[in-house]
Structure 1
Amino acid sequence: MTNSTTGTAMGSAPQEEKFIGQNVPRKEDRRFVRGKGCYTDDIVIPGMLHAAFVRSPYGHARIKSIDATAALALPGVVAVITGRELAEFTTPFVCRQEGAPPMEMDALPVDKARFAGDPVACVVAVDRYVAEDGVDLVEVDWEVLPPVLDMYHADDAGMPLVDDKLPSNMHTRESRSYGDIEAAFAAADRVVKADFRTQRLTHVPIETRSVVAVWDDGREELTYYGAAQTAHILRTTLASRLSLSENKVRVISPDVGGGFGLKLPLFREEFTVSAMAMRLKRPIKWVEDRLENLTASNHARDDAVSVEVAVKNDGTILGVRADLWADFGAYAFYPPSYIIHVVGWLLLGAYKIDNYEYTINVALTNKCPAGTLRAPMAIVTWATDGMMHRVAEELGLDPYEVRRKNMITLDDQPYQSAPGYLYEALTLREGFDQTLAEFDIQAFRDAQKRASREGRLIGLGIASVVEPTTYGSAWYKASGDDGSGHEAATVKLEPTGTINVMAGIVGTGQGYETSVAQVVAEALGSDPANVDVRLGDTHIAPYGMGSRGSRGAAAGHGVAYLAAMDLREKVLKIAAHLLQRPVESLRIVKGIIIATDNPGVSLPLAEVARIAYNDPTSLPEGMLPGLEIHRTYDPPFMTFSNATHLCQVEVDPGTGGVEISKYRVLEDAGTLINPMIVDGQVHGGVALGIGQVLLEEIHYDEQGTNITSTLADYLVPTMDTVPMIEVEHVETKNPNTPNGIKGMAEGPVQGAVACVALAIQDALAVTGARLEQLPMTPSRVLEALRESRGCANA
């Protein structure tokens, strides 16, 4: 017998549906595949003007004068503005870093251009074509200066200053030491050295940077449409620099065609367009073209790690010294030491090493500014596991046994790393052992020897990834940086029973509209299809820290779940009052509130919602009307996830080409909200890492000109480069986050960079060739092989 209202068998305990952990299809994809998405360039405002920028052709040059007379005479050109004029009604951006001089950046340069592509004037016209024609008519009188292009020699005597307001081109040089590093090296049987160098990259999102700025002169309010990963932080910055009240600035981030860290800061072009919209009282659009994207958007990476490892003859690691370098380019959108410090404190990776010292060196050069690119610390796993392999090589030991010997296990946890970070619920040694158990290493080594006799080079790489995912506010405080790690969400159960969610994170392709709906639906006993998720509008969403790093799951989804659980508590209190049942006896199953001790007693969730809004006198005494919860959540100091990557490659000794024949990932991101979405993050991250190892590189010539400014010169991975990727999951819950979620997104990049590079190095090892520089292009592979043959013949 069933109850007609609930469809539940009489006398049986109702079971709440579980949506966390389910492969729910992405809700947002329907509009994308139908061409119904809305990106910034889709936004058209009546009376809208268009902007284009005059850019420096030189890597380093003083601006003697700018003459816009001819441009202003061109029909359709409305205005031309320079940095000197913008400085009259805007304030500069000041980037501060503890223990180092602040770096100041005007809206547009006033005195000199610091890199080729530096925007020095803005032309506003009736359409983009006229604006571009106007750019060609602006005459700039330049005094060309010698560029600074080598981070290792940026501070040599006689080098010009990149930033004239700073005393040196070496912005940061500092050391940190843990344990007794001198004693560790004194006790060592051997000191092993290794070097790792990564190239300068850029993001190459399908959707480039873009903005539409609209000034409402009646309300004296600015609306900013743009692909922003951190909408609220951008709003605060805009308001401050334009001298507006924050409640007079609205940031709307529509659909975003890829972020990858590029769309975090407020760039000078976007700020200039906003300032000009206010000045001209007209809407203005700017959309970056691909040439601008490759030359003048933030770059990333361009760093190096040199290590000295104190070891015993049995492979025990006693201590590590590291020298870390970063080329930060010409300006600072972030504290210059931030990214390389992450490399520093993460460098010990999966290994138990108590004695550690690292020194960071951050140089300013006449290159496009550097910033965050998905996994800004991408070099770190390659350097960590690479140094372990170098130790094994010099000691004549099996590299995987050396790694196992020094690895952190679950039994060691909670484990505090030498720099003071707490590792909990990480399956580092366990994942490594599982990967080795599922792959026959001995069979591969036998095949490798046979291949070598045939003139073929095959190699294996295994990487153990430690990924920092969610930075709590305490981390920012301890690091000396301004910032918060908190996140916020508002969950509303509307009068008809539908659910609306607003959160501070911003979707840039991760599937948040689906996965946030899953966690909220599970908490409220509804269906994800009944949950609408709105992100990226500062007039709707509560103030949050946006989407950066891998914080979306633990912070963004965590706070949405907590808000929904708070709302659930209120719903059940109302239902208990109406049904005259104890709260603890009630469950919400498929939108119906059911008494577990008598499933025949039930009440639709929608009826509770109706009463909460439209019949508040029926609520429990003292309870306020409505069903809306706002919640904030500050994650722990730091949350980590981990993974093990395995890659098998073949290197063609005749062409230097590399083919990836096998790629496997064992991922432990804690509780998975949507495994299908996690798989997508793994695939995308691995592809990005493969691109870094094999293809992508920004090149500057001796004059400081970017000579990789088209997609014919700057190569990105395509389907012929990226192999099929096998993904397996382990779900070891974090004890300190909602639902045990750890998060992930950047780790797959770290893992791919490491295991593909290690696999290539393993393939070349039989020849004696050594590669320590990314990308490992065919020309670099062939050069390494030629050098090894030359050494053999010497």
Structure 2
Amino acid sequence: MSTGIGERVQRKEDRRLLNGQARFVGDIRLPRQWEAAFVRSPVAHGRIRAVRKPAGAEARVFTAADLADVRPIRAQSSLPSYNASDQYPLAKDKVRFVGECVAICIAPTRAEAEDLAERVELEIDALPAVVDALKARQPDSALLHEEWGSNLFLTTFFDGDIDSLRKTAPVVIEREYSTARQCMNPMEGKGTLAHWDEKAGQLVVYTSTQVPHLIRTGISEFLGLDQGQVRVIAPDVGGGFGYKCVLQPEELSVSWVARRAGRPIRWTEDRREHLVAGANTRQHHYRLTAFADTRGRLLGIDAEITVDVGAYSVWPFTACLEAAQAGGNLPGPYDFGIYRCRTYSVATNKPAFTPYRGVARPGVCFAMELTIDAIARAVGREPSEVRKENLVPAAKMPYTNVTKKFYDSGDYPESVAQAEKAIDLKGFRARQAAARAEGRYLGIGFSTFTEQSAHGTKVFAAWGLPLVPGYDQAMVKITPSGSVEVRSGNHSFGQGLETTLAQVASEWLSVDVSRIGVVMGDTGVTPYSTGAYASRGMVMSGGAVSKAAEVLAGRVRRHAAHLLQCRAEDVRLAEGKAWHGAAHVTFEDIARAWYLRPDQLPDDVETAGLEVTEGYKPDIDTGVFTYATHAAVVEVDPDTGRVAIEDYFIFEDCGRRVNPLILEGQAYGGAAQGIGTALFEEVLYDANGQPLTSTLADYILPGPAELPAFRLGHAETLSPYTRHGIKGVGEGAAIAPGGAIVNAVNDALSPFGVELNSLPATPERVLGAILKAQAAREAAE
């Protein structure tokens, strides 16, 4: 049975994960290991006057003064007007958010380290907290980084001739939209264990990361070590979603202390640390004007986007990635020609922004999809019909949009048509009318998006980032026993890469995935890769494995041809064997000849052997685009504001599906996160910058009772620019739910004159919108 590309192969990694045999940072125990705990700032903004170590424990407590030789984390950008921030791994002079690390304490156990941290005394003079990004843009706002003279990390601008549309467009829609701040909540928080290996002359860092090679670069840069002196090992990682693709200040502190203390030091993040001090994401504000004709055909968009990115610029992606993505991706899959957009990346006294599944696109999708529905209401048409007429048609592919995004392939309107059919739009409208007669309020909403994946060097360079991803590399070899080993510098934190990379190798070598081992996450033994983010794993790492396996398959045929006494072009690989007619040799026979019995091979044998390392990047450098349409049916209780999802359908096209089983899991998980964005998740702060959602009793995540039975449909439009036509799919399903669900809520509540434009659509917000609309009607009467 084939286990190559396209097969529904069970995940190789699930056995150890489900049987408790996985090895996370928290499971590792080294000789003489101690644990760490951090002293964190209790105020959002203040000047540090003193940090007093407990008497008798001075050697086990470290502050910024101790780490004076550690460079601050500084993420540079080449973009004009960019302001860089210095984030010391332990705060120096000033604290800028509640939970910022001020000191690190070490002890034989975590409990003892926490007790020691409680005894450290902080003297901090509080400063005014900046918690509202719109107010932070005002000239009278308190400043986080006084040397800037403002609170702006960056302003960007797309220019278009909007003024002409203001005079001529028959339909003008003006709206404000907002999305809430979120926390990422992977099952496993951050964790780092470091020790100095005297024999190797290396700092060995076990850390829960998506990007081990990047973290090695960051640690070496900021600790002043040669990269050859740093080995980063990412063991099993319990989820990341982007949270673990930047250098964490704790990684630097733990690494420095481990070397100074001369023993292994470990820190693992607890849930409250994550909710208070972990990176945040998603908080956008939009002022948007759309121009359309009388049928609802989009003519242009004018937008202002403010992104609350927190106190510091993260390394290497900077605080500006979110706004850069928002401005560039706001037009989404729509075909129109005039666009103007200004974006503001604003510093506030909150944890720094980190890329999160779908970077910026859940916000821009929400804004655009609600705008499409608002246009449809203005022209009196069904929103899905207006949506289809505005989407880039298949006949225009490949298509370069108004922000120069190059859409490689697909049929965007067909995804809406498939969603309409699956959700039975016509039948729903009849059911909706009947329900309203009974006092029940049903609504339907659609949301369509594109997901740019496997972004190329030109894209990242245009964003001004200090580190630009290029080629991905992979090694594939036949072992002496005839099995196959794949080594990739990428890493898996739940995506199933151990399985899908093995499937790509199996496609060329015909070896069952059970006999293909995949090694990832260790800079000491894997080829260089910038890691897992931006849905790049299967396009980039999969492409590298494919290229290496193809070359290796050619070498296997040549060795087999000598053993079979035939020409190499007459050898075919199947079932883990090399065949010439009915005769065959096994991979074990071939490996034995190469490794153990070279006398069986000709004198002029190719000495490159059975181990191949290849680099790869797609034929196009601007990324490839997955697309999808989500359709949601909801029921809204107007007395309580509660939203219940009755039906949810996803139709997506991600090119060649390497493993449909894993793809479906990605869709379910992403949509679950998107529903959290749409209905539940919100990080709240008071006026002093104190977090109000520091436990899972306050920060609400969706569970099984809140999630629908998702239904999926698929198309396979192959990308002409990648190996096997693969496109990235990891982020997509998290992008659309906000737009689909809130459009459905607005449809359900249209008899009340309600239009909700904020996320999440909590019962409080929904009920508030109903009461506000009711008050407006009564005042008008």
Aligned length: 770
Measure, in 2, the Cα distance between the counterparts of 1:18 and 1:203.
34
Q: Report if aligned partners of 1:20, 1:674 keep a CA contact under 8 Å in 2.
A: yes
Distance in 1 (alpha carbons) for counterparts of 2:168 and 2:597: 77
Q: Please say if residues 78 and 124 of structure 1, whose CA atoms lie closer than 8 Å, have aligned partners that are also in contact.
A: no
In structure 2, distance between residues paired with 1:219 and 1:329: 39
Contact 2:442 2:634 in 1 (8 A): yes
2:346 paired with 1:366: no
Partner of residue 249, structure 1: 230
Q: Contact between 2:25 and 2:192, CA under 8 Å: does it hold in 1?
A: yes
Match of 1:404 in 2: 388
Partner of 1:50, secondary structure, is strand
Question: Could you give the per-residue CA deviations for residues 726-757 of structure 1, whole angstroms, max 9, x where no partner exists?
Answer: 11221111111010101201110112222112
Which one of the candidate residues 24, 28, 34 is aligned to 1:39? Answer: 24
Alpha carbons 2:546, 2:723 under 8 Å: kept: yes
Task: Give secondary structure in 2 for the equivalent of 1:678.
Answer: helix
Match of 1:631 among 604, 611, 614: 614
Q: Deviations over 1:294-334 (max 9, x none)?
A: 01110001112221112111222111111111001111103
* Superposed CA offset, 1:558-615 (max 9, x none): 21111111111111122234434333322101111112xxx22322222222222234
Q: TM-score, normalised by structure 1?
A: 0.95
- For 1:514 and 1:69, locate their aligned partners in 2 and report how far apart those are by CA, in whole Å: 51
Assess if the C-alpha contact under 8 Å between 2:450 and 2:625 holds in 1.
Answer: yes
Distance verdict in 2 for CA 1:401–1:502, change over 3 Å: same
CA distance in 2 between partners of 1:563 and 1:196 (Å): 47
Is 1:700 paired with 2:693? no
- Return the match for 1:418 from 402, 417, 430: 402
Give, as a single letter, the amino acid of the residue that structure 2 aligns with 1:323.
E
Paired position in structure 2 for 1:203: 184
Q: Are 1:172 and 2:157 matched, yes or no?
A: no
Using the TM superposition, give the Cα deviation of residue 218 of structure 1 relative to its aligned residue in structure 2, in angstroms.
4.4
For residue 181 of structure 1, report the CA deviation from its aligned partner.
3.4
Residue in 2 that maps onto 1:339? 322
1:329 to 310, 313, 316: 310
Paired residues of 1:460 and 1:758 also in contact (CA < 8 A): yes
CA apart distance, 1:765: 1.7
Is 2:183–2:278's contact at 8 Å kept on the other side of the alignment? yes
After superposing the two structures, state which structure 1 stretch, 211-220 or 32-41, moved more.
211-220
Match of 1:606 in 2: 588
Deviation of residue 507 (structure 1)? Answer: 0.6
- Indicate the residue corresponding to 1:380 in structure 2: 364
Q: Does 2:427 align with 1:447?
A: no
* In structure 2, C-alpha distance between the alignment counterparts of 1:182 and 1:622, rounded to whole Å: 71
Q: Is the 8 A contact 2:3 2:513 kept in 1?
A: no
Closer, same or farther in 2 for the Cα pair 1:219/1:514, shift >3 Å? closer
Q: How many angstroms apart in 1 are the aligned matches of 2:411 and 2:490? A: 28
In structure 2, what is the equivalent of residue 11 of structure 1?
none
1:662 to 647, 664, 670: 647
Alpha carbons of structure 1 residues 570 and 365: separation in structure 2 relative to 1, 3 Å: same
1:625 deviation in Å?
A: 5.1
Contact 1:78 1:125 in 2 (8 A): no
Contact 2:139-2:150 at 8 Å conserved across structures = no
Distance (Å, rounded) in 2 between the aligned partners of 1:18 and 1:257: 26
Q: Name the CA distance, whole Å, in 2 between partners of 1:619 and 1:366.
A: 70
**Which residue number corresponds to residue 531 of structure 1?**
516
- After TM superposition, the structure 1 stretch with the greater mean CA deviation from structure 2, 260-269 or 184-193, is 184-193
- Deviation of 1:619 (Å): 4.2
Q: Quote the offset at 1:437 in angstroms.
A: 2.8
1:284 and 1:137 mapped to 2: Cα distance? 20
Equivalent AA in structure 1 for residue 507 of structure 2: E
Note if 1:473 corresponds to 2:457. Answer: yes
The answer to whether 1:456 aligns with 2:440 is: yes
Deviates more, 1:19-28 or 1:211-220: 211-220
Secondary structure at the counterpart of residue 418 of structure 1: coil
1:620, distance to aligned residue in structure 2 (A): 6.6
SS of corresponding position for 1:95: coil
Q: In the alignment, is the contact (CA less than 8 A) between 1:202 and 1:373 conserved in 2?
A: no
Give 2:516's aligned amino acid.
Answer: V
Matched, 1:120 2:102: yes
Corresponding position of 2:124: 142
The answer to whether the Cα contact below 8 Å between 2:473 and 2:616 also exists between their aligned partners in 1 is yes
Match for residue 272 of structure 1?
253
Aligned to 2:140: 158
Match of 1:776 among 757, 761, 766: 761
Q: Which moved more, 1:758-767 or 1:741-750?
A: 758-767
Q: CA RMSD in A?
A: 1.6
Closer/same/farther in 2, CA of residues 231 and 535 from structure 1, 3 Å limit: same
Q: Which moved more, 1:245-254 or 1:682-691?
A: 245-254
Is 1:351 the counterpart of 2:334? The answer is yes
Q: Which residue of structure 2 aligns with residue 313 of structure 1?
A: 294
1:502-544 deviation per Cα after TM superposition (whole angstroms, max 9, x unaligned): 1011010111111111111121111111100011011111110
Structure 2: which 5+ runs fail to align? none
Q: 1:477 to 1:700 in 2, by over 3 A?
A: same
2:443 is paired with a residue of what secondary structure? strand
Q: Secondary structure at the match of 1:540?
A: coil
**Cα distance in structure 1, aligned partners of 2:750 and 2:331:** 24
The answer to whether residue 748 in structure 2 is matched with residue 763 in structure 1 is yes
Aligned partner letter, 1:126: P
Moved more, 146-155 or 183-192: 183-192
Residue pair 1:612, 1:625 contacting (<8 A) in 2 also? no
Residue 142 of structure 1 deviates from its aligned partner by 1.1
Answer yes or no: is the 8 Å Cα contact 2:312–2:319 preserved in 1: no
Match of 2:69 among 82, 89, 101: 89
Q: Is the 8 A contact 1:352 1:417 kept in 2?
A: yes
Deviations 1:165-186 (A, max 9, x none): 32211222221125x4333443
CA distance in 2, matches of 1:659, 1:623: 65
Contact persistence 1:524–1:588 (CA under 8 A): yes
Q: Note the alpha carbon deviations across 1:216-269, whole angstroms, 9 max, x for none.
A: 234431110111100000001111211212111111111111111111112111
Cα shift readout 1:145-167 (whole Å, capped 9, x = no counterpart): 11011100113233221123322
Given that 1:575 and 1:608 are in contact with CA atoms closer than 8 Å, whether structure 2 keeps it comes out as yes
Alpha-carbon separation, structure 2, partners of 1:24 and 1:520: 14
Among 714, 720, 734, the alignment partner of 2:705 is 720
CA contact (8 A) 1:217 1:281 kept: no
8 Å CA contact retained: 1:470, 1:485: no
Q: Is 1:289 equivalent to 2:274 in the alignment?
A: no
C-alpha deviation, 1:715, in angstroms: 0.6
Which of 317-326 and 99-108 deviates more? 99-108
- Partner SS state of residue 233, structure 1: helix
Matched, 1:214 2:195: yes
Q: After superposing the two structures, state which structure 1 stretch, 142-151 or 213-222, moved more.
A: 213-222
Identity %: 35
Alpha-carbon shift at residue 623 of structure 1 (Å): 1.4
* CA distance in 2 between partners of 1:663 and 1:343 (Å): 26
Q: Secondary structure at the match of 1:369?
A: coil
- The equivalent residue for 1:12 is none
How far has the Cα of 1:78 moved from its partner? 4.7
Distance 1:642 1:620 in 2: 53
CA displacement 1:32-52 (0-9 Å, x = unmatched): 222111110000111111111
